[in-house]
Chain A
């Protein structure tokens, strides 16, 4: 597999504050990555470093196996950081022409990309007349001008209205569907869950997890159970070797698994022991629950 970006022991200090601490990860071609973390966990700083706008205090990173200098590599990257930054007095098309000049690509694709983000009819309007959602879409068009090997998006839906968020997500899905590698930094988990195959989780500048979304927790999921006799159910589950913690809320018993256990087996077991269920669901934690449990468990 081709490595697009490799980060090794990256550190960034702002005075006494360590924003990024010994961070290492690899971005492989073809995957969609999410960088997750609460506000101030070092997501934007990390992206700033690999994008040549923030100086690192230690560690290194290399693009495309280190064969290109950073600014040459960035010509093959499309990136949007926090807010769309363009020249307010230039029209959409003039701004994109400027980006083409910087990236040294031809200007043929400008119309195509504007079409993709739905801005073709506003191509001759000045950037300052755009709404935030339109600015963000223009930024995506600009990032795609060079048909990048990797698209980096930092909080792309921040500050947008629901319609804008929806439009941006549709665009991201469309791009991901074309096989482009994407690195998406966000604190909105459902956003990441919907599109990402891999996640990197940061907390206070440190990596808590990196790998496939499915393998985030060594969790076997949990059961949601209901029975006419919940007391009996809870005491039985408490003795069962497969279960860890058991919670009871609004008449719903939630039992977390310590080892693999199939729903039919449990159902049969309980029936044999005289407990009859009115409700049985086996679930995996959502990304949000996994994320919260990861970031909370390691709370110092």
Chain B
């Protein structure tokens, strides 16, 4: 296993483009801390974001995993291209001839995805912990450590999404087209299937079908936290709206994404196996 990771490390780390993107990704996560520095000071109106309670434990786990989730597209580019480049450089063929089995090849890519996801989760954890300790109104251990399931959801979400990218890279073989396909797929889920089912079987059926589609189930793992924020809620109440939304992470949602991960990795292997190079 270590050997497979080392192989992938040599391939990725010596490529300047991937190196810059990887570093940029982690730098951007770090930049979440900059939200804390946002301050409006316009005469009588003084507004300091960090003091509005957005960094309160345990809310911060939800907010930060949600924001960091948006950055995953950066790593998606790397993952798609590390797969597609093996095709365009024909190095996949050479790797197999040199004695890497097709299983090992997929395993080395998937392990890389795991490592990226785990690192990203740890990074988000550390950044959030530090921000929280600096700005949170509550710092009791029991509160700090509650709602940590958002981090688990974040990890599962990343693994699922990157596995999808891996699969697209193998399927399409060209990084630019694979990324295009990703956007196309997103549109298909959100416009095509959502409204097709809506039209055929009504709104409720559409909502329940959407829960099981790959990209939608991944983005559903961590629901948007903005309406949960107290300031936003009180603002909404003033205009007579009320949000009654379920923000929790559910086990079956994790399971759906887990299943998709398995399906994508397996399909990648099958594609590799049946294709002639």
Contact = CB atoms under 8 A, between A and B. Distances in A.
A229 B15 CA distance: 76
A104 B11 CA distance: 16
Interface string B92-128: 0111111111101000000000000000000000000
B16 interface: yes
A52 B97 contact: yes
A175 interface: no
A179 interface: no
A287 interface: no
A55 B97 contact: no
Contacts of A98: 7, 10-11
B6 A72 contact: no
A52 B14 CA distance: 28
Contact of A74 (B3, B11, B14, B98): B98
Contacts of A90: 10-11, 14
A71 B274 contact: no
Contacts, number: 81
Nearest to A94: B14
B11 A83 contact: no
A195 interface: no
A52 B97 CA distance: 7
Nearest to A75: B99
B97 A74 contact: yes
Interface residues of A, number: 32
A71 B102 CA distance: 9
Contacts of A79: 97
Contacts of A88: 89
Nearest to A52: B96
A118 interface: no
B99 A85 contact: no
A72 B99 CA distance: 6
A18 to B, nearest CB: 14
B272 to A, nearest CB: 11
Given A48-B277, A53-B277, A101-B10, A81 B93 contact: yes
A159 to B, nearest CB: 15
B6 A101 contact: yes
A102 interface: yes
A270 interface: no
Interface residues of B, number: 26
Contacts of B15: 87, 89
B276 interface: yes
Contacts of B276: 48, 53-55
A148 to B, nearest CB: 10
Contacts of A83: 90
B91 interface: yes
A29 interface: no
Interface in A41-85: 48, 51-55, 69-75, 77, 79, 81, 83, 85
Given A71-B104, A87-B89, A88-B89, A51 B7 contact: no
Contact of B16 (A70, A75, A89): A89
Contacts of B99: 71-75, 77, 102-104
Interface in A270-286: none
A112 B158 CA distance: 44
B98 A99 contact: yes
Given A71-B104, A101-B6, A101-B7, A51 B91 contact: no
Contacts of B91: 85-87
A48 B96 CA distance: 10
Contacts of A123: none
Nearest to B10: A98
A48 B93 CA distance: 9
Contacts of B277: 48, 53-54
23 contacts: A48-B276, A51-B97, A52-B101, A53-B93, A53-B96, A54-B276, A71-B96, A71-B99, A72-B99, A74-B98, A75-B99, A81-B93, A81-B97, A83-B90, A85-B89, A87-B11, A87-B91, A90-B14, A94-B10, A99-B98, A102-B7, A102-B100, A103-B99
Q: Considering the complex of A and B, which 7 residue pairs feature the smallest CB-CB distances, nearest first? A: A75-B99, A71-B101, A74-B99, A85-B94, A85-B90, A53-B277, A102-B98
Interface of A: 48, 51-55, 69-75, 77, 79, 81, 83, 85-90, 94, 97-99, 101-104, 142
Given A53-B97, A86-B91, 6 more contacts: A52-B96, A85-B90, A86-B89, A87-B91, A88-B89, A89-B14
